Amino acid sequence: MERWINKRPSRAVSGMLGLIPLIILLLLYMAGSEARLAENPADKLLPSFEQFSQAIERMAFEPSKRTGEYLFWVDTQSSLIRLGLGVGIASLLGLVVGVLTGALPVVRALFNPLLTVVSLIPPLAILPILFIVLGLGELSKVVLITIGVMPFIARDIQRRTQEIPSEQIIKAQTLGANTSQILLRIILPQIMPRLIDATRLSLGAAWLFLIAAEAIVSTDGLGYRIFLVRRYLAMDVILPYVAWITLLAFLSDWVLAKISYLCFPWDRLDGAER
Amino acid sequence: MKRLLALVLTMVLSPSVMARDSFQICWSIYVGWMPWAYADQQGIVDKWAKKYGIEIDVVQINDYVESINQYTAGQFDACTMTNMDALTIPAAGGVDSTALIVGDYSNGNDGIVLKGTSNLADIKGQSVNLVELSVSHYLLARALETVGMSEADVQVVNTSDADMVAVYSTDDVSAVVTWNPLLSEIAAMPDSHVVYDSASTPGEIIDMLVINTETLAEYPALGKALVGAWYETMALMSGNDAAAVEARTFLGEASGTDLEGYEAQLASTQMFYTPAEALALTESKVVLETMEKVAEFSFDHGLLGDGAPDAGFIGIETPAGTFGSSANVKLRFDPTYMKMAAEGQL
């Protein structure tokens, strides 16, 4: 007897099945938007796709009347710079702290309690302190992202470092390797792909911190724009921005995965694509 | 299929078209709207609703802009908001709205604070932290006019009201525009000066209860019950007898301060405790002239939408006349119900 648990869709069917929920959502949206617009043509809650394209055209391809800038691209640029700096610094710090505390028991004993405490502080709650200490400029936004995701990356890297089989470390020592050689030649190459994995997982949180920081004090950025136009319920601007953020998040995730694949071929020696 | 979906969604997403006898209104924390908390708590709203054979649910929403958005989306029949937000959110969103109760105007509750100088003209070239596109932004524009400047002379930085006080204590910030209770807290910091406040623009920042015009036309009982409950509450909380002090103490505590703090806020608010006072402003030319300025400011900042060719695109009807397109009136100052209250007909 054929059981459901054994049924496997072919590649083509599988792709189509995946589209069904998306299409249903899209249809639901279109019907809802049409119904609301029929009742009130100026309704702003569920704009039509035509209104979306007008909003995108206005934000992305026409200079702003007040500043002469292309707002959409200015927003995207400032947000990506903040996100890139924040996540980049967090990964670097996370790598250093994670590898050192993972590989060297003395360093672990010294820093582990601090790392645990720091990772438990909700970063948004201490935002006013960041503002007072670091000012209101770019620095406080980048630092918010950094302290938001660094502890997660550091703790993950620490755990992965500890998981490296001790046989490898002992073998390296019998071959005469000293501590720094072991760190750089044995541990680091195996940890780099894990660092990319951890960074990919923390991207979602990083976007959250970015948008929160931009909502509080800012003059540009994707989060700034969303919270500004929310003031007059301009969903025709907000929803394309949300879609754009989703796309950017997807792209950055994909780029990281690609980097990992190309730069660390030894990570897939067992044939499994991670 | 599509039609069926549309039908289902119309039923789910739009206010019911069937006759009904239960209504929802929302309010958010602000000195001039706190009386709704008291009216709800003490059963005054219920009493008046019962008198007209309906039910009114009074809901407090913690986020001011969200409350207006919910009203605009049709989740609430009436909501508290300022005159400017009534124009730029529901009216610009095509929801025909009526100012049912003109409750008060800001008479010093909104202000501009500068660090290290008490001269407004020194604001030139500075960064100014404020909630962009709010009444603070409007007040700044009005203030700059008085010293022959425009917004181009300063750099506006959008800042969340929740973080305004924390932000002000940093060295980066030298100028803010905000409202009470934040304003008094910031003004009390060292070397800080209120260089301009809404007492210089009396009657321009008006706090009101705004109701959906269609709902009001269909269910006048709702308008009568709300206005009746409001002025009963007003009569209770004004004055100096024990009951009034008790009411104000309750309102102070409900807004996160105490009797003294609440009375300090009341001092910079021109409350209309009687319908006659509210009518005097509503029927005067001041409202018409104010709304014209507000509409021009809103148009300049793109708040009336892209379809708007000029500031008069959305018509605003007041007892003293109509500003803008009379074919597209979406915001009305209607004195009918306040008049009923003044004449004791409720």
pLDDT (0 to 100) of residue B340: 93
Using a 10 angstrom Cβ sphere, with 0-12 exposed, 13-18 middle and 19 or more buried, the burial of residue B77 is buried
- A6 part of a folded domain: no
As for the ipTM of the complex, it is: 0.73
The pLDDT, as a whole number, for residue B221 is 94
Range of the domain at A228: 61-264
Share of chain B above pLDDT 70, in %: 95
Answer yes or no: is A238 within a domain. Answer: yes
Instruction: Write the DSSP symbol of residue B125.
Output: T
Whether A249 and A87 have beta carbons less than 8 Å apart is answered as: no
User: Average pLDDT of B144-154?
Assistant: 92
Q: B46 with B183, same domain?
A: no
Judge whether residue B253 has pLDDT over 60: yes
| In a shared domain, residues B251 and B134 | no
Mean residue pLDDT across chain A: 90
Of the residues B160, B181, B200, which one is the last residue of a structural domain? B200
Between β-strands B110-115 and B192-197, what pairing exists: parallel, antiparallel or unpaired? antiparallel
pLDDT at B323: 93
Mutate which: A33, A129, A217, A222, vs B, most B CBs within 10 A: A217
B174 and B309 in one domain? Answer: no
Residue from the list B7, B158, B173 with its beta carbon closest to the beta carbon of A224: B158
Q: Give the per-residue pLDDT at A114.
A: 93
Any idea what the Cα angle at residue B105 is, between residues B104 and B107, rounded to 5°?
125
Quick: pLDDT tens for B196-209.
999 999 999 999 99
pLDDT for residue B13: 55
Q: Has residue A41 been placed in a domain?
A: no
Q: B187 with B312, same domain? A: no
The pLDDT score that the predictor gives to residue B62 is 85
Tell me, yes or no, if A137 comes closer than 8 A to chain B by beta carbon.
yes
Both B69 and B192 in one domain: the answer is no
Name the residue among B69, B163, B302 with its Cβ closest to that of A216.
B163
For residue B301, the model assigns a pLDDT of 86
Q: A215 vs B160: CB contact, 8 Å cut-off?
A: yes
Q: What does the pLDDT average to over B239-251? A: 91
Are B263 and B338 in the same domain?
Answer: yes
A contact residues 224-243, partner B, Cβ 8 Å cutoff: 224, 227-228, 230-233
Number of structural domains, chain A?
Answer: 1
Give the per-residue pLDDT at B18: 62
Minimum-distance CB partner of B9 among A35, A40, A128: A35
Residues B216 and B333 in one domain: yes
Cross-chain CB nearest to A232 (options B10, B73, B89): B89
| pLDDT of the residue at B222 | 95
Chain centroid to CA B324: how far?
21
Q: Where in the sequence is the domain holding B138, given as residue range(s)?
A: 110-200
Number of domains in chain B: 2
Query: What integer is the mean pLDDT of B34-42?
Result: 93
**Given pLDDT bands bounded at 50, 70 and 90, which one contains residue B9?**
low
3-state secondary structure of B100: strand
pLDDT band, residue B17 (cuts 50/70/90): low
Residue A38 has pLDDT above 50, yes or no: yes
CB contact at 8 A, B177 and B139:
yes
B229 vs A41, which has greater pLDDT?
B229
Residue A125 has pLDDT above 90, yes or no: no
Q: What pLDDT sits at residue B308?
A: 81
Residue A55 is assigned to a structural domain of this protein: no
* CATH of residue A101: 1.10.3720.10
Tell me: do B232 and B194 sit in the same domain. Answer: no
A131–B69 CB contact, under 8 Å? no
Count how many residues are written for chain A: 274
Task: Give the Cα separation of B69 and B65 in Å (integer).
Answer: 6
Is A67 a member of any domain? yes
Size of interface A-B (CB pairs under 8 A): 114
B129: chain A residues, CB-CB within 8 Å: 217
Domain end marker among B200, B218, B241:
B200
First to last CA, chain A: 35
- B220 and B330, same domain (yes or no): yes
Do residues B231 and B188 both lie within one domain?
Answer: no
B345 in contact with chain A, both atoms CB, cutoff 8 A: no
pLDDT for B8 beyond 70: no
Q: Is B130 on the interface with A (CB under 8 A)?
A: no
Q: Is residue B305 pLDDT above 80, yes or no?
A: no
pLDDT band at A274 (very low <50, low <70, confident <90, very high): very low
pLDDT at A271: 54
For residues B72 and B92, what is the distance between their CA atoms, to the nearest angstrom?
A: 10
Average pLDDT rounded to a whole number, residues B41-48 = 94
| Continuous H helices in chain A | 11-39, 49-61, 71-103, 105-120, 127-134, 138-163, 166-174, 179-181, 188-216, 222-229, 235-263
Asked if the Cβ–Cβ distance from B303 to A224 is below 8 Å, we say no
The residue from B200, B218, B233 where one domain ends is: B200
**pLDDT tens per residue, range A174-224:** 999 999 999 999 999 999 999 999 999 999 999 999 998 898 888 899 999
B170 part of contact set with chain A, CB < 8 Å: yes
**How high is the pLDDT of residue B14?**
54
Residue B7 has pLDDT above 80, yes or no: no
Residues of chain A neighbouring B6 (CB-CB closer than 8 A): 31-32, 34-35
Q: Looking at residues B256-278, what average pLDDT do you find?
A: 91
Residue type, A235: M
Nearest to B147 by CA among B179, B186, B195: B195
Residue A28 is predicted with a pLDDT of 95
Angle between helices A188-216 and A138-163 (to 10 degrees): 150
CA dihedral B334, B335, B338, B340 (to 10 degrees): -110
Q: Is residue A1 part of a domain?
A: no
Q: Are residues B268 and B140 in the same domain?
A: no
- Total-model pTM: 0.81
Give, for B68, the enclosing helix (H) or strand (E).
helix B64-72
Residues B13, B121: one domain? no
At B19 the pLDDT is 73
Residue A32: which of B9, B95, B302 has the nearest Cβ? Answer: B9
Say if residue A94's pLDDT is above 90: yes
Q: Which of residues 73-92 of B touch A (CB under 8 A)?
A: 73, 88-89, 92
A130 vs B: CB within 8 A? no
pLDDT at residue B5 tops 80: no
CATH number at residue B95: 3.40.190.10
The answer to whether A217 contacts chain B (CB < 8 Å) is: yes
